[in-house]
Amino acid sequence: MAKRVTGPEIEKLIQLLAKVPGLGPRSARRAALHLIKKKEQLLGPLGHAMDEAYHKVKICSCCGNVDTIDPCTVCSDVQRDQAVIIVVEDVSDLWALERAGAMNTAYHVLGGTLSPLDGVGPEDLNIKGLIDRVSVGGIRELIIAVNATVEGQATAHYITDRLTDLGVKITRLAHGVPVGGELDYLDEGTLTAALRARTAI
Amino acid sequence: MAKRVTGPEIEKLIQLLAKVPGLGPRSARRAALHLIKKKEQLLGPLGHAMDEAYHKVKICSCCGNVDTIDPCTVCSDVQRDQAVIIVVEDVSDLWALERAGAMNTAYHVLGGTLSPLDGVGPEDLNIKGLIDRVSVGGIRELIIAVNATVEGQATAHYITDRLTDLGVKITRLAHGVPVGGELDYLDEGTLTAALRARTAI
């Protein structure tokens, strides 16, 4: 803003809101005004929720999930099959797979993918924690559910190499046509994979 | 989420973030995870800023601007020409005009537009406050800068009618071609207005 038109506290709020992914400088101003208009219903409760999250949030020492307890809700859920671990890149992937609701298993969050160009090596990811979990025993299957990107696949290969001697079954997500997807819009790689992995009707 | 995968405090944070304009349920989850990852740089400071704003925010009793002091930064700025008042619908319009930086005047925020269908009458807007400000005297010009919508124009007419006896000069924003705009994409009303208000080169 060229000249100050409001208090420094409100400008600070706008500056910080602009750093939230999905909001830019313009939508941060709009968001701040909306929050102020809904002071009792939104601004107060949201500030309180952020404060609570700030003080209570923990990274699960077992799987790397974000929670307010450690071990996390997923790791301490006795109704889950804790002998099957789905390995994901990020917490958001864990949450996405849980929304699908197809499995009722444990998870392991790597915290990224191997990327030599960005200086991300195996020691920067939560791979040692995974090896430790598998080494303890009692794990029946590892489902590698990393993204189907070059880095994701390289990471999947590295993990498979490291764990192959431990005698655990390692699987990966199927490649194929997304449900609801149109063939015309899919790339050649996906179509080739879908043809190769065709199933009997 | 089908099953709980994280603590109730974090789910609450996601629920509230989803109510911020510009964020939906999906981007709220992404925002929450980003905030947690940037706990020290973003989550903590943003929670604190919201708390500060919650406790300190005030609506300026003179012009209706949002600030932490009353009268607000704009109303108490002695370097502004307080004899010229730009009348706007919303605080966001005040801030937008200030970013343009073309004028150095006072403002008056109506808090909406007349809209009989939505049950918004003159008593629901900050029109009485405007009449009081003008009645006290010392105001040289009112610039009506409401949106160029039907409701905005109706509101402009109403205000002009009410204030015309007070002997203050009342102006409105010019209609015309937006700077950088292409004629081909403009509506007939704007083109007609731009032609009628043509100026000598």
In the CATH hierarchy, which fold is given to the domain comprising B66-172? Dna Topoisomerase Vi A Subunit; Chain: A, domain 2 (3.40.1360)
Mean pLDDT of chain A: 92
pLDDT at B101: 87
CB-based contact A56 B98, cutoff 8 Å: no
Q: What are phi and psi of A45, to 5 degrees?
A: -60, -40
pLDDT digits (tens, 9 = 90+) for A118-161: 999 999 999 999 999 999 989 999 999 999 899 999 999 999 99
Of the residues A57, A63, A108, the best mutation for testing chain B's interface (the one with the most B CB atoms within 10 Å of its CB) is A57
Answer whether B14's CB lies under 8 Å from B32's CB.
yes
Residue A9 token pair: 């506290």
The total number of residues written for chain B in this structure = 201
Q: What are phi and psi of A40, to 5 degrees?
A: -75, -40
What percent of chain B shows pLDDT beyond 90?
78
pLDDT at B57: 95
- C-alpha dihedral, A59 to A65 to A67 to A70, nearest 10°: -60
Q: Is the pLDDT of residue B1 over 60?
A: no
Distance, in angstroms, between B179 CA and closest chain A CA? 19
Residue ranges covered by each domain of chain A: 8-56, 79-172
pLDDT at A1: 45
Q: What is the mean pLDDT of residues A187-194?
A: 90
Name the residue facing B10 among A29, A67, A104 (closest C-beta).
Answer: A67
According to DSSP, residue B178 is labeled P
Name the residue facing A52 among B9, B19, B56 (closest C-beta).
Answer: B9
pLDDT at B126: 95
Q: What is the mean pLDDT of residues A8-36?
A: 94
Distance, in angstroms, between B24 CA and closest chain A CA? 9
CB-based contact B6 A48, cutoff 8 Å: no
Q: Is the pLDDT of residue B11 over 70?
A: yes
CATH of A79-172, one of 3.30.1060.10, 3.40.1360.10, 3.40.50.300, 1.10.3720.10: 3.40.1360.10
Q: What is the mean pLDDT of residues B105-131?
A: 94
CB-based contact A73 B42, cutoff 8 Å: no
What percent of chain A shows pLDDT beyond 70?
99
pLDDT digits (tens, 9 = 90+) for A40-71: 999 999 999 999 999 999 999 999 999 999 99
pLDDT at A113: 94
Name the residue facing A91 among B33, B43, B65 (closest C-beta).
Answer: B33
Reported as a pLDDT band with limits 50, 70 and 90, residue A2 is low
- C-alpha dihedral, B162 to B166 to B167 to B170, nearest 10°: -40
Q: Is the pLDDT of residue B81 over 70?
A: yes
Instruction: Report whether CATH 1.10.8.420 matches the domain A8-56.
Output: yes
* Structure ipTM over 0.90, yes or no: no
